[in-house]
Amino acid sequence: MNENQIYVIYGDHIKEMTASLLEAVDLKGRIPSHDSLIGLKPNLVVAKPSSTGATTTPEIVEGVIEYLQKYGYHNLLILEGSWVGDDTGRAFKVCGYDLISKKYGVPLFDTKKDSVSVQSYGGISMEICNKALETDFLIDLPVLKGHCQTYVTGALKNMKGCISDREKRHFHTLGLHRPIAYLNKLLRPDFVVADGICGDLDFEEGGNPVRMNRIFAGSDPVLTDSYIASCMGYRPADIEYIRIAADIGVGSCDIDRADIIELNRDTTLASPASSRRVQSLAKYTEAKDACSACYANLIQALARMEDCGELRALKGHPVKIGQKYQNSSGSGPGVGRCASGFKPCCMGCPPKTEEILKMLRAYRLRK
């Protein structure tokens, strides 16, 4: 694969999906040697299971380890430092990483306990954990999710787990965006395997999880974050740290020119939304056997409309979505090829979040 490509796989057989994805991108071909120290950096920002939408699904990490061990890479390490105020050891346990470590013989490393090196870029000095700097190949395993300050969080921001707690506090005083982008200039992950199985709509600590049933991979962390932004209904340039990272040459945020390669279609059905916000957004939909990825893209689009105070116009005009609409027609908005009998309809299978947004916004203006 090249830097401009993102590979996406859908479904709910997570370990098998991860294996197929890594075979498709030929991850082994990117690793310098069999002796390389390979760091796996999940997002365990808090000690909460991945079902809350906060942390990296452990089966993805298992899938990566199994792939690497199958091809003879055994010098592996899982490294993370939870946010200030949470204990990484507790997060390893609660999120299932203790068990992974025992099962595969891969050590866990708490970056909070590491020594640091001070490195500088663009006039900002920062304390980066030495173990992260020592890795020969660093695999970033972020979660596709929202963030109350930066709107989205993904591969670039996940690298914050490789700095000291003191530095994490310092980043907040600097407004997060610039230091996050600069950190990735100093410690750029070599590869990204992003968890889009279940991520939170708004908060990095979880609470409003949306089942999205996808995993995606790329070698450019700016491009993978741009893809995350677009999945959540943002333009990459709207997210300041993505824009800065592109400006300083960490990668590209030109998602329109990216080559998005979808290895399959999502066939899993969306399960009833459980969290409060997702339930309240679901009131604007009429779903009948909607696929998870399709439904998640609609929920993300509705969330962006709610953020902008645009949802009211859709009251009484529920959005039709799902396979059971294949032979139906009517007026009012539809989403996905299955609802093509409804007017207007955002086609696609699944349609992209930003296209759903565009259609619903135009529909709202006509009301």
Which residues of this protein are in contact with ligand SF4, per CB under 6 A? 266, 290-291, 294, 322-323, 336-338, 349-350
In whole angstroms, the minimum distance from the beta carbon of 62 to ligand SF4 comes to 27
46 phi and psi angles, rounded to 5 deg: -135, 165
Q: Which is nearer to ligand SF4, 21 or 291 (CB)?
A: 291
In whole angstroms, the minimum distance from the beta carbon of 212 to ligand SF4 comes to 12
Q: Degrees (nearest 5) of the Cα angle 157, 24, 355?
A: 60
* Separation CA 177–CA 324 (nearest Å): 43
In whole angstroms, the minimum distance from the beta carbon of 331 to ligand SF4 comes to 19
Q: Which residue is nearest to ligand SF4 (CB)?
A: 336
Q: Which is nearer to ligand SF4, 232 or 338 (CB)?
A: 338
Q: Which is nearer to ligand SF4, 22 or 360 (CB)?
A: 360
Q: Which is nearer to ligand SF4, 46 or 294 (CB)?
A: 294
* Separation CA 30–CA 22 (nearest Å): 11
In whole angstroms, the minimum distance from the beta carbon of 351 to ligand SF4 comes to 7
In whole angstroms, what separates CA 252 from the centre of its chain? 17
Q: What is the DSSP string of 306-357?
A: HHTT-GGGGTT-PEEESGGGTT--EEEEEESGGGTTEEEEE-SSSPPHHHHH
In whole angstroms, the minimum distance from the beta carbon of 216 to ligand SF4 comes to 16
Q: Where are the beta strands (DSSP E) in 201-318?
A: 209-218, 259-262, 285-287
C-alpha distance across the termini of the chain, in Å: 45
Q: Which is nearer to ligand SF4, 64 or 294 (CB)?
A: 294
